[in-house]
Structure 1
Amino acid sequence: MTADDLSSTAAQQEVVLVIGASSGIGRASAIEFATRGASLVLVSRSATTLADAAADCRTAGASAVECVPADVLDPDAVQAAVDRATSTFGRLDVVVHTATVMAYGRIEDVQPDVFERVVDTAIQGTFHVFRSALPVLRAQRRGHVVVVSSLLASITAPTMGAYVTAKWGQLGLIRTLQQELRDLPDVHVSAVAPGGTTTPIYEQAATVLGNTGHPPPPVYTPERVARAVVARIDDPRRLKQSGVANPIIIAGFRLFPPVFDVLVGPLLKTFGMARDSVAPTTGNVFAPVPEKEATRGSYFGF
């Protein structure tokens, strides 16, 4: 297919840039957009797994798929991904940003470089995505950005300080941008905040606890969260909680902090930690682990 053919196809279909597309919610979102016949540009650090995700998207019905291996902490690489979308398809309708990494450990035990990388991936990475995509959307005066946030952007939990800090900071950046775009009513920025989701992130996380984590119940599938992501195109929201228990947990955190603080640690240990035994590891914080990337993790979700 030539560049002219791709541009002609894109004129009839959504052009969607998915960042973090090789695994988990990002991969599920790419496949969900593919079922709508979208033209896709897929981005992640892992070129091999990205190619697998692209194959899934073609099977699901994508009009066209381009792959751009890139790390969100490299602003030039992020810009190149946006440029690939606009040069190949002529425009950019939707940006879905899901790239994130996670670490388990008490604040004084997590290595500084691991903490910084987890936080930087969420905050600086999101900043780089915004900086590259927004000039295109401003020029078009239309388009959507959907960022996958987390329940942990609204509450805190012991041994998850790096990820909590990352997601609180990311949500602050998102909310600020939403205010700054009030002059462009057809440019929308939405955040989707899942609770426990059966993705590989728990098995890929850095940990100094001697064990890995797993999604706390109720556990949802990445495909279910992906449907919430895609729904934001027709129904933009400042922050959409994707999980029936999320509002209840957030209410407990805000309204009854002494009770929440007593319960959160034991509940996390019981329902959010695996019973395995692993040596301290940096997981995929600094580099991808392709053999652990997939749409779903090893836990059941619905």
Structure 2
Amino acid sequence: MRRLKPAPRAAAGRVVVVVGASSGIGLASAVAFAGRGDHLVLVSRSSEALESAERACRRAGACTVDTVAEDIGAPAAAGRLVDRVLDRHGRVDVVVHTATVMGYGSVETMPADVFTTVVDTAVHGTLHLARAVLPVMRRRHRGTFIGVNSLLGSVTVPRMGAYATAKWGQRAVLRTLQQETRDEPGVSVCIVSPGSINTPIYDQAANYTGRAVRPPWPVLAPERVAAVITRLADRPRRHVSVPVGPGNPLVVTGFRLLPRLYDRLVGPLLHLAVFTRGRVRPTPGTVHRPAPDRERVHGRWPVHGRGGD
């Protein structure tokens, strides 16, 4: 089998903005870019968690690290963020949008404010960020916007309606942006669609099911997603969504081509793979406010395969 040549190391000194940088895939991506000597701007709702992320990126070799505590779901936050980056660096080369919140519970029983905030964080957060940063990239005729979506941006599962709605809506925004930036060849909008990733989000999620949850097998390390993101920053793929997870294509195919069989199996399989015997009280988790002490790269579940790419 012919071996593919490794992707070239990107020239040091890019200005990379990572939104959702204090935990999980966002933090893993920030550390990966730091290892390349890039200038980093780390964004999160939690200034306390950002301090830890900043230290990790400096240790990894970032050229510079700035932190910005903003909730990207707020309408004016993205504009303030981009203005600050331009004042500091004069340009934006790469934006990685990973910020998300998760919720478990049926559409009928999840509180409306929790459902709406899960959706707003993904959909309006992406909208506000894109509207603020893409005109800046257009003026320079280059730049890469990477949105981290999900397998649940292509399928639905019971008791995860809020998250699926959020990710379907976000995917629609990102795909439309891919079409609307075709007139600017130097500006790329990329989509990454991870499956089950070992991050703290499962312990941070809103939960109105009465049962504790876990990520379904196979669980991958967030570094796997970070490796895909850094490759896309080097070599953007403008017109596709890049999956991360060995089972993703099979699940999407079943959802699209065998809907009756999919609907019959998805509920029982979800109970076996996701819901544990542990009992939990109803909680909004971190949907409305962060929990800095619970933010880190990894969750508490064993991973499948290698931790890196």
- Residues 1:210 and 1:141: Cα distance change in structure 2 (over 3 Å): same
Matched-pair contact (CA < 8 Å) for 1:54–1:67: yes
> CA offset at residue 236 of structure 1?
1.9
Q: Distance in 2 between matches of 1:12 and 1:244?
A: 32
Q: How does 1:1-302 map to 2 (within 5 A)?
A: 13-237=13-237, 238-302=240-304
Partner of 1:240, secondary structure, is: strand
What amino acid is aligned across from residue 40 of structure 1 in structure 2? L
Corresponding residue for residue 7 of structure 2? none
Partner of 2:230, secondary structure, is: helix
> CA offset at residue 189 of structure 1?
0.4
What amino acid is aligned across from residue 246 of structure 1 in structure 2? N
Q: Distance in 2 between matches of 1:143 and 1:68?
A: 21
> CA offset at residue 210 of structure 1?
1.1
Partner of 1:274, secondary structure, is: strand
Q: Distance in 2 between matches of 1:86 and 1:211?
A: 46
- Residues 1:12 and 1:225: Cα distance change in structure 2 (over 3 Å): closer
Q: Distance in 1 between matches of 2:213 and 2:236?
A: 32
- Residues 1:32 and 1:56: Cα distance change in structure 2 (over 3 Å): same
> CA offset at residue 76 of structure 1?
2.1
- Residue by residue over 1:23-62, the C-alpha shift from the partner in whole angstroms, topping out at 9 and shown as x without a partner, is 0000000000001001000000011011101100000000
Q: Distance in 1 between matches of 2:35 and 2:193?
A: 23
CA RMSD of aligned residues (A): 1.1
- Residues 1:12 and 1:293: Cα distance change in structure 2 (over 3 Å): closer
Q: Distance in 2 between matches of 1:33 and 1:162?
A: 31
> CA offset at residue 120 of structure 1?
0.6
- Residue by residue over 1:74-108, the C-alpha shift from the partner in whole angstroms, topping out at 9 and shown as x without a partner, is 23222222122221112110000000011101110
Q: Distance in 2 between matches of 1:12 and 1:225?
A: 21
Q: Distance in 2 between matches of 1:216 and 1:235?
A: 30
Matched-pair contact (CA < 8 Å) for 2:12–2:37: no
Count matched residues. Answer: 292
Partner of 2:275, secondary structure, is: coil
Structure 1 unaligned regions, length at least 5: 1-10
Matched-pair contact (CA < 8 Å) for 1:205–1:212: no
Structure 2 unaligned regions, length at least 5: 1-10, 305-309
- Residue by residue over 1:105-136, the C-alpha shift from the partner in whole angstroms, topping out at 9 and shown as x without a partner, is 11100000011000111111110100111111
What amino acid is aligned across from residue 200 of structure 1 in structure 2? P
- Residues 1:259 and 1:92: Cα distance change in structure 2 (over 3 Å): same
What amino acid is aligned across from residue 288 of structure 2 in structure 1? F
Q: Distance in 1 between matches of 2:112 and 2:242?
A: 32
Partner of 2:192, secondary structure, is: strand
Partner of 2:277, secondary structure, is: coil
- Residue by residue over 1:175-229, the C-alpha shift from the partner in whole angstroms, topping out at 9 and shown as x without a partner, is 1111110110010000100000000111100011112321111110011111111
- Residue by residue over 1:240-298, the C-alpha shift from the partner in whole angstroms, topping out at 9 and shown as x without a partner, is 00111100111111111111111111111111223321110000000001111111111
> CA offset at residue 234 of structure 1?
2.5
> CA offset at residue 12 of structure 1?
5.2
Taking only the aligned residue pairs, the percentage that are identical comes to 51
Q: Distance in 2 between matches of 1:275 and 1:224?
A: 29
Q: Distance in 2 between matches of 1:191 and 1:229?
A: 9
Corresponding residue for residue 3 of structure 1? none
Q: Distance in 1 between matches of 2:78 and 2:276?
A: 35
Q: Distance in 2 between matches of 1:110 and 1:12?
A: 46
Partner of 2:282, secondary structure, is: coil
Q: Distance in 2 between matches of 1:87 and 1:12?
A: 20
After TM superposition, the score normalised by the length of structure 2 is 0.92
